[in-house]
Chain A
Amino acid sequence: MTSVEMQRVLARLAHEVAERNGQSSSVVLIGIQRGGPFLAQRLGQALAELWGHAVPVGTVDVGMHRDDLNNRMPPEIFPTQIPCDLNHRTVVLVDDVLFSGRTARAALDSINDFGRPKSVQLAVLIDRGHRELPIQPDFVGRVVETLKNERIDVRLREESGEDHVSLESL
């Protein structure tokens, strides 16, 4: 996926989020660390333009909520910043790649500690399949057929200077 394609995809995702959520003032975007926060910011900007008001954007780190803490090196922990009370809000979780669904599950657990949202939706740039849990995205940038041992490399201009998504085999 090139930079132009990514911009189009994000613009469409923003429109889909806007279409689904008539009550725009209740929407909060939460980017899942580490791939989600910059995408959440971009979606937040696009939605602010569509709606004509600022949209709160936050981040969540799921490291303390993972289900595989016993079997791996301790994960690096990045900031969790929840910008407002989540009670009665519509939370849109944003991540770059949806794979097993375990990160999304951990993110659901994690935001639970901050309140009881009215609803939670999931927006992802890439859905690469191979789900291990009954979790499906509400908004998908692109569905990519992958093998389990392949890797999706998402680069964003905020961090690596360019927007680029590629499929790599390990």
Chain B
Amino acid sequence: MNWSRKHLLDIQSLSAEEINLVLDTAKAFKAVGERAIKKVPALRGKTVVNLFVEPSTRTRISFELAAHRLTADVVNFSVEASSLKKGETLKDTARNLEALNADMIVIRHSAAGAPHFLSRVVNVSVINAGDGAHEHPTQALLDVFTIREKKGRIAGLEVTILGDILFSRVARSNIWALLKLGARVTLCGPSTLVPRVFEEMGCVVNHNVDRAIENADIINLLRIQHERQRKTMFPSIGEYTSLYSLNKTRFEKIKPDALIMHPGPINRGVEIDSEIADSQRSVILDQVTNGLAVRMAVLFLVNGGKGPVELGV
């Protein structure tokens, strides 16, 4: 199949074939990162703007390096040093970037739907790097890439996502991607953060952490998103840790080949025991490596998504 999208806005609207195409392309780009010369000329002469209206280190650096490895030029734009602070609207900022002939805008924004809005007002490829509590598509793609790489498949796997689901864009994008690829998804955490309404997406909601993780092939841990919680969702961090963290006692009871994932940043001793985060079973740093390959694939694919179909040579 061929990729025909100009933007990557969410996982919800992608087909399983499109997700697999990104994963296959990312596999080839991962190999580029392992060479002595870690660079290919695929996006030579293209300009990528990292428009990060919300703080980020890992995602921004990952996109920046991905663009560099494709020989694109990168402009980093953070809200503190920009006219958005002076009252310029997002639309005007984006149209200014368009007037400078940027080819791609990678946007992170605290408002859900900001990338979709942008894709309608500018004639530039838009990549969602996280919008509010809505979606974080490249995180989900790198997570399923890592699972496929380690387990050889996605379909039929039991995946448990544990933590703050309600405020997590990572959770939403992961749920869409995993369900489309045929995994079974269980969500677990305090009932205030894991409402039953997620069952409508096709997940299992289980508030008993020991039950939720005992059969899991993958345990994906999520951080408490304090910055998005407007009121107290659980009594205390201490209580959350004793009831829901992946500690040594729980770790001993999970499947021996279960993988531990975390999108970062991790809060050691809160959602995950420090030693478990560093254990052989943790693939947290593989996720970071794979994130770079997946973002290279996404930049590569959306850049070509505007041309007419040409019969190959």
A interface residues with partner B (beta carbon < 8 Å): 61, 63-65, 68-80, 99-100, 102-103, 109-110, 113-114, 170
| Chain B nearest CB, measured from A61 CB (Å) | 7
A70-B307 contact in complex given A77-B24, A79-B28, C-beta closer than 8 Å: yes
Partner of B28, one of A65, A70, A80, A114: A80
Are B308 and A64 within 8 A (Cβ)? no
Contact indicator A74/B40 (Cβ below 8 Å): no
Given known contacts A73-B307, A76-B21, A113-B40, what 16 new A-B pairs fall within 8 Å (CB)? A64-B40, A64-B41, A64-B300, A65-B41, A69-B304, A70-B304, A73-B2, A73-B309, A75-B304, A77-B24, A77-B25, A79-B31, A80-B28, A113-B37, A113-B39, A170-B311
Contact present for A64 and B310 (CB under 8 Å): no
Q: A78 to B24, alpha carbons, bound, how many Å?
A: 8
Residues in A whose Cβ lies below 8 Å from that of B303: 69, 74
Does B301 reach chain A (CB closer than 8 Å)?
A: yes
List 9 interface pairs A-B (beta carbons < 8 Å), by A numbering.
Answer: A65-B40, A65-B42, A68-B310, A73-B2, A74-B2, A74-B301, A74-B304, A79-B31, A113-B40
Whole-angstrom CA separation of A75 from B25 in the bound complex: 9
- Which of A64, A75, A79, A80 has most B Cβ within 10 Å? A64
A64-B42, A65-B40 known; A73+B310 contact, CB < 8 A: yes
Q: Give the CA-CA distance A73 to B308 in the complex, in Å.
A: 6
**B305–A75 touching, CB < 8 Å:** no
Contact A114 B35 (CB under 8 A): yes
Within 8 Å of chain A (Cβ to Cβ): is B313? Answer: yes
A71 touches B307 (CB 8 A): yes
Provide the bound-state CA to CA distance between A99 and B313, in Å: 8
Chain B residues whose CB sits within 8 angstroms of the CB of A102 once the complex forms: 313
What 4 pairs between A and B have smallest CB-CB spacing? A74-B304, A77-B28, A64-B40, A72-B310
B70 to chain A, nearest CB (A): 8
Say whether A72 contacts B313, CB under 8 Å. Answer: no
A64 and B32 alpha carbons, distance in the complex (Å): 10
Main secondary structure of the interface of B (DSSP, over half): loop
Task: Say yes or no: is B3 at the interface (Cβ < 8 Å to chain A).
Answer: yes
Please name all residues of chain B whose beta carbon is closer than 8 Å to the beta carbon of A68 when the two chains form the complex.
310
Contact, CB under 8 Å: A72 / B32? no
What residues of A have a CB within 8 angstroms of the CB of B24 in the complex?
Answer: 76-77
Residues of chain A within 8 A (CB-CB) of B304 are 69-70, 72-75
- For the complex, is B274 an interface residue (Cβ under 8 Å from A)? no
* B interface with A by C-beta (< 8 Å): 2-4, 21, 24-25, 27-29, 31-32, 35-37, 39-43, 70, 300-301, 303-305, 307-313
* Contact of A74 with B305 in the complex, beta carbons under 8 Å: yes
B31 and chain A: residue at smallest CB distance = A80
Contacts of A110 in B (CB 8 A): 40
Task: Kindly list chain A residues whose C-beta atoms are within 8 Å of the C-beta of B28.
Answer: 61, 63-64, 77-80
Contact (Cβ within 8 A) B309 A72: yes
A-side contacts of B36, CB under 8 Å:
113-114
CA distance A78 to B31 in the complex (A): 11
Q: How near does chain B come to A131, taking the closest CB pair, in angstroms? A: 12
> Which B residues are in CB contact (< 8 Å) with A170?
311
Residues from chain A with a CB closer than 8 A to the CB of B308 are 71-72
Which residue of chain B is the closest to A115 with respect to CB atoms?
A: B36
Cα A100 to Cα B311 in complex, Å, equals 13
Within the complex, what minimum Cβ distance (angstroms) separates B96 from chain A? Answer: 24
Minimal Cβ-Cβ distance residue in B for A99: B313
Residue among A74, A78, A100 having the largest count of chain B Cβ atoms under 10 Å: A74
Nearest-neighbor residue (CB-CB) of A78 within chain B: B28
Q: How far is the CA of A114 from the CA of B39 in the complex (A)?
A: 11
State the Cβ distance, A99 to closest chain B Cβ, in Å. Answer: 6
The distance in angstroms between the C-alpha atoms of A119 and B267, with both chains bound, is: 54
CB contacts (< 8 Å) of B312 on chain A: these are 72, 75
Once the chains are docked, how many angstroms separate the CA of A99 from the CA of B300? 26
Give CA–CA (A69, B301) in the complex, Å. Answer: 10
B42 vs chain A, min Cβ distance (A): 4
Query: In the complex the two chains form, what is the Cα distance from A63 to B311 in whole Å?
Result: 14
* Residues of B with C-beta under 8 A to A99: 313
Residue of B at shortest CB range from A70? B307
Residues of B within 8 A of A64 (CB): 28, 32, 40-42, 70, 300
Q: How far is the CB of B46 from chain A (nearest CB, A)?
A: 9
**Closest CB of chain A to B296's CB: distance in Å?**
9
Query: Are B42 and A103 in contact (CB-based, < 8 A)?
Result: no
Residues from chain B with a CB closer than 8 A to the CB of A80 are 28, 31
- List of A residues within 8 angstroms of B25 by Cβ: 74, 76-77
